[in-house]
Structure 1
């Protein structure tokens, strides 16, 4: 991995956010964005077939900020996007390491995540993300309750189940993925309330599989559906299921790797009481999956975050006062193109954008839909030059160094 410390201004375009919800205008853009997907004054640098990179300045309410933009042509049969992740839901690595390990030609950071547990002394922060995740067509996890979310407030009418995804039809879209599943026991069928997530709904039973990793599952019973900082529940129980039968029970959530073919069920409140009815040797079957609200095809890739632009219109209630370094994904051309934008965190560029300005920026670049990802010290973009053995970090992370993150969006080109 290399850091790109160049800050040359030559050849850059400048974008100006005229209003919180207006299109971008000025020398760079007038009306709709050009077909190249980057501001006028340059066509971007080709990273790989179907993938271009461009950097430019944006002048917003708080001042000038520097942006890095990837344009990804999903209509190109040699191009695809997929989830970058370290192999476990509850694990983190830098975007450069994730991209290099996966062989991606480019990438950005992803979903908001459980980064600290200062409200719960003695409980380990899991590093797991807020929203659903699908990698290579495999479901990794479901979403935590809305009140357990890390990150800025959700826009009205949205939920932690919001995703940006690419279906098996190679079209990107914004959607909502909800958990479906059950636990069948000798006493009846229980509704499954969670899958590999750091927080379970109150009174529910959640499932943890080998994809979770080895981090403690204790955080799953902390907080409430409306208050992330609420104390950890005292009524909890855990059951280990292997080969379709209960092999162990415990009075508190445990830790350590979960072997393949094994499911650990964690219950809180009523869910805990239901699991206590099970005995070693009892037959138990667990089913789980994610159901899309709109897509008619399966998702090959999906990542959590929150929508800020739909059908060319910014969502209502977007924050227009807090400027920050941000990462955002945009869609255009009916989902055949994906725009990935990461702001720079260098001292002279750290003014950032509000979420409202972020939506306006993506609309000015021609996106019909846009999806806000984690920002601040997590914001990062990497690209790999042709023939290079590793990626280069294109923006300056605002913390001064790359922050390990649980997932990201990887761009791949054959």
Structure 2
């Protein structure tokens, strides 16, 4: 990759500006502006609470705003109930009409690993970013970064949206910074071009499950219980998941390179593989005999319209739409459901005039108590987000600017599956 001297100068200038802004925001004072006290900007807690808002320009068309509502630390035993706050909200706003750069999603070196948001921002050459998708996040998992839902990167579908009605998606075209929210649906299948044999795909880049009743069978072709059929791409990890089952490796034309009666292999660039467990194991081997395999993958929006995959299209997964058409649409949580209680939150959404807003709300601390799902939706609406979703939150909530955290997670920064990052330069396919 090469860059012109003028381009590098621009990036350095923008990075220096962002670093200065970060230092100022951390002190609560924006460069060239005064912190302003107000009441009523955010609909949180008592009406008489004081708010202090400071704002700074990170790059052309990109601003960082910090809102602190409430002045006194909360008693530790009242974090979940207090009406006095405080609340700390950081807001990154991108105006596509003015911005010279692009917003995209990134997962780091491979899809299966986790990295800190600060590292994802830094290695992307980005000015700023926030954590994004919900992900596996189990210490014992071999693939903790595996997205729990949609993962769309540069026009490549690397993780399918799930059927859970709670899933909400944020999709952005890095070519023009136009973004939408909603819920996507997916269907996939594999078909032998010569024989017409067909199998439905269950997942993309997600380890298949061996049926419990066949867990002791080394040869899964002898299993009579339903299993999974999964597509893997080189972006997943250094090797595909190993274990009982079968695997078929395909070249870029979809023609069979090799088959195996166990799972786990390294994929070369351009190759994909199909893994199967349970009774689908024998069916997949039979489908792969003599010929090439056609893989079909279709994304549709919530209106049933097909979403064409094209370079520059990125999508991440959240849980629950917060606002739609300017109205709060988040559902009521079940009594005692901690997910709907006060937590740190990350929000992504758009305003009526097309601005993109990424926001974090610190929580579970006496210095910022966090928000319930209802409060989070109210914040999104107050920030002018006509359409917004709730991204991964809790310990994952993080916003980075100029390579450093802006918010305070409440402990050490957690590694996450992917992030939404703003790069101050035009998008180029493959970047």
Counterparts of 1:174-253 in structure 2, within 5 Å, are 174-185=181-192, 186=195, 188-198=197-207, 203-214=227-238, 217=241, 236-242=245-251, 244-253=254-263
> Does structure 1 residue 54 correspond to structure 2 residue 48?
no
Partners of 1:8 and 1:200 lie apart in 2 by 50
Counterpart selection for 2:127 from 105, 108, 113: 105
Task: Say which is worse superposed, 124-133 or 352-361, in terms of deviation.
Answer: 124-133
Q: Offset at 1:380? A: 0.7
CA change 1:248–1:82 in 2 (3 A) is: same
Deviation at 1:405, TM superposition (A): 1.4
Q: 2: CA distance between counterparts of 1:211 and 1:178?
A: 22
In 1, are the aligned partners of 2:344 and 2:364 still within 8 Å (CA)?
A: no
Could you say which residue in structure 2 is the equivalent of 1:44? 55
Give the counterpart of 1:394 among 406, 410, 420.
406
Q: Is the 8 A contact 1:237 1:249 kept in 2?
A: yes
CA shift at 1:244, angstroms? Answer: 3.5
Relative to structure 1, is the Cα distance of residues 4 and 49 closer, same or farther in structure 2, using a 3 angstrom cutoff? Answer: closer
Secondary structure in 2 matching 1:53: strand
Gapped runs of 5+ residues in structure 2? 1-14, 30-34, 71-79, 211-225, 334-338, 426-431
The reply on whether 1:374 has 2:374 as its aligned counterpart is no
Find the counterpart in structure 2 of residue 76 from structure 1: 98
Counterpart residue number, 2:414? 403
Match of 2:109 in 1: 87
Q: Which residue of 2 aligns with 1:33?
A: none
- Structure 1 residue runs without a partner (length 5+): 29-38, 147-157, 220-233, 385-390
Instruction: Please give the alpha-carbon distance, in whole angstroms, between the structure 1 residues aligned to 2:25 and 2:388.
Output: 28
SS at match of 2:66: strand
Equivalent pair of 1:206/1:265 in contact (CA under 8 Å): yes
TM normalised by structure 1 equals 0.75
Equivalence for 1:305 = 318
Determine if contact 2:112/2:143 at 8 Å carries over to the other structure: no
The 1:252/1:64 distance shift into structure 2, 3 A limit, reads farther
Contact 1:95 1:108 in 2 (8 A): yes
Gap change, CA 1:25 and 1:368, over 3 Å in 2: farther
Which residue does 1:227 correspond to in 2?
Answer: none
Equivalence for 1:363: 381
Partner deviation per Cα, 1:156-175 (whole Å, 9 max, x = no partner): xx343x31112466421113
Q: Alpha-carbon deviation of 1:55?
A: 0.9
CA offset at residue 410 of structure 1? Answer: 0.7
The answer to whether the 8 A contact 2:136-2:147 is kept is yes
Tell whether the 8 Å contact from 2:54 to 2:66 is kept in structure 1 after alignment: no
CA deviation vs aligned residue, 1:322-353 (integer Å, no higher than 9, x gap): 1111111121124x111111123584334211
- On the 8 A contact 1:245/1:281 being kept in 2, the answer is no
Shift of 1:176: 2.6
Deviation at 1:84, TM superposition (A): 2.2
Q: Which has the larger radius of gyration?
A: 2
Per-residue deviation at 1:374? 1.0
Mapped contact 2:115–2:417 kept (Cα < 8 A) = yes
Query: How large is the Cα RMSD of the aligned pairs?
Result: 3.4
Q: Secondary structure at the match of 2:121?
A: helix
Matched, 1:135 2:135: no
Provide the C-alpha distance between the structure 1 equivalents of 2:139 and 2:240, rounded to a whole number of angstroms: 13
Relative to structure 1, the CA distance from residue 413 to residue 333 in structure 2 (aligned partners, 3 Å threshold; closer, same or farther) is farther
Please, which of 169, 173, 184 is the counterpart of residue 163 of structure 1? Answer: 169
Q: CA deviation at 1:409?
A: 0.6
Distance 1:212 1:46, change over 3 A: same
Query: TM-score of the superposition, structure 2-length normalised?
Result: 0.72
SS across alignment from 2:267 = coil
- The answer to whether the 8 A contact 2:342-2:364 is kept is no
Aligned length: 360
Cα distance in 2 for residues equivalent to 1:408 and 1:78: 20
Residues 5 and 124 (structure 1 numbering): CA distance in 2 closer, same or farther, change over 3 Å? farther
**SS in structure 2 of the partner of residue 114 of structure 1:** coil
